Copies of this chain bind each other. A is one copy, B any other.
Amino acid sequence: MPAATQLTDVLKTLADPTRRAVFERIAREGEIAATGLVQGSKVSQPAVSQHLRALRDAGLVAERREGRHIHYRIAPKGLGPLIDWLGHYETFWAERFANLERLLKESE
């Protein structure tokens, strides 16, 4: 797949607030089953399922089946296209980047 297409998919996938909330919750929990995501969600089970499909298709999450549960986790490489693209704009956000750099250092 062309890199631009992958980037478009990642951006489109994360652009929807509901879907992004699902992604963020998976990140927070580390690993969580679809059932858990449906609980405490504003939308229906099919809606969550459709968002999970979109996230998976975009390469943003990975799944692990365990019995009748499917556990989702963040796919580390998923944000790659976005980060690579942002890399082209370093010069514009060098200052902010420096802050992230500091945070990273501190967390080591």
Q: Which residues of A contact B (CB under 8 A)?
A: 4, 7-8, 11-12, 14-17, 20, 24, 27, 74, 76, 79-80, 82-84, 86-94, 96-101, 103-104, 107
Contact = CB atoms under 8 A, between A and B. Distances in A.
B83 A100 contact: yes
Contacts of A79: 86, 89, 92-93
Contacts of A84: 96
A5 to B, nearest CB: 8
Given A15-B12, A86-B86, A76 B100 contact: no
Contact of A80 (B24, B90, B96): B96
Contacts of A89: 27, 74, 79
